[in-house]
Structure 1
């Protein structure tokens, strides 16, 4: 489900990659004397003018603290801030407003669930299952809970192709499993996990599910009601929005039972030295002055992406990935890492006889921006027995010509290694 764009129309804009590129000012520059080719979108996406302008306009015309203000600026700021929450709720398939919690990003969302739900509900002997594909932010919070409670964090095995071993997952499920933590899409390999099926299997043994959607929201539509998860999180900066803002969606029945994450202003109903009572959802989890401009920027990013037909965007990105795979097959010495049947937006690889960081540095000298290393997925790299990878990741503004530039640059890299 999408929301109305700024002009009040749904999915009205015909996709034209050249016109899309014109919306992103950062793309039109040179780096090291070469036109920029930005292929690091899994780390962060670039921002269109509409998002930059929304943030700038807020600070130029509306800057004030939200809620309880007795003046017009505060009223306007509150309307924009809460309006952004409504945009997120619609973007996630029509979720309830009180189920949308502002966070600093996906990492803080995982820590919120770990602190406010897991620490109160996980006990010694319980099991938390975590995919071996996960980013560290979807591993470490659960390890901290396990250390405090005596529970166990067990990794879900993956295949050599970089897919979760579903048969092994079924065998690991038992009444001892209280939480399954999954990435919707792997940031390191682009694997699209079968989360709906895995959530259904987890429910059968009474386990809750937390889904890290940071790498998914920019690539395809999300409907949390159909997905069936208990918690879903994402970061604004992966969705053409600003850094420092993110979202945790949770089922209201669960959020109502959970303790606050931080203490301070806004999250209280009453406060005295005799005791404190807490605010209603979602404010119970939003202590202190929030990132107002960040929320407004994220709302503008949702407005922007909602002007397009999401299926057309997905088809463009699929074409880029398939074209990259085809070019890679003809690149001598290139070894693809992760070849899942269902993947999106990411091509990870190694060059024979070279370290990923050296490849990345030499690509940068030619204006090609990629990411190298373990991608905050060290358990995955250990499982694949590689030190790290070179990762090229794609978005709606990338082109086949930029992929050609990548492979032309790689041919020059080989001459230096």
Structure 2
């Protein structure tokens, strides 16, 4: 099979393409392997909404296992854990050759802790360890939300030698807390006798949702100055995040000491990169977020759009910090409360995953009841 040239160019520019989707059908049909072979896909991310869609609409792909779980007397939480960890374990096996070839940088598959634990530190850590042991694959990443309760959990989990995908990051201030948590966790992991080189982490910085929320507020303000800023905040925010990443991992003095002991940087990951406003180019949050040592988690529809007509803007991030700060200054000047924006986005992010999980619980419970 031949790799798509647009996605090859993106990969060669330093962006790892991870598919933001997973289902048992995708794995069993060979669809995931085809994405690896033709679309430069080198990783997979999941979230509660993805699992809700996969299991609720998966038809016969899950029927036999659900029937077995029903006969064994499994409750709905145990059933969902079994279903999701089996899918993630299988995806880890498909991506194992990528993991080995990349030296552990890619070939990763993410599974998220129960979103109902987003505000519970100890319980998040407990489930992270449980999921790590259940999947039992070294190319796994445990997704933990960057809530106030999640940030200390990130450090605690990394300290146990577990690789982490930090999710639901919206602001650069919170992102800095996440990077600090990663470094704290590495310090403790080394003291605990773990191999720092075996611990990986990415920080999932959400992009399109920032534009959706801020554009709504700009429309409400309605002045020419406000309307001119639509569609600029998401990219500016991500570019400021990359500048912060460079400070912490390329300039400041703390990381080199850890790197000398085998640690690797926590890569920025661009999440929520499907365009929600049809007025914007459909590959905007891929083509305009190109920089070395980054990851882009791409929904299937966006991946195909990029394969068809995506472009690489090699100057889209590096050196864009000052211009991005000007965008944020202009947003503040027209009356956008950025602090409130990020609080709303974090709260709504947790709520959306909670809702998807609740729908998954309801649908799976009904399927279990039908087999008892």
TM-score (normalised: structure 2): 0.36
Q: Which has the higher helix share?
A: 2
Structure with larger RCO (C-alpha < 8 A, sep 6+): 1
Q: Which has the higher strand share?
A: 1
- Structure with greater Cα Rg: 1
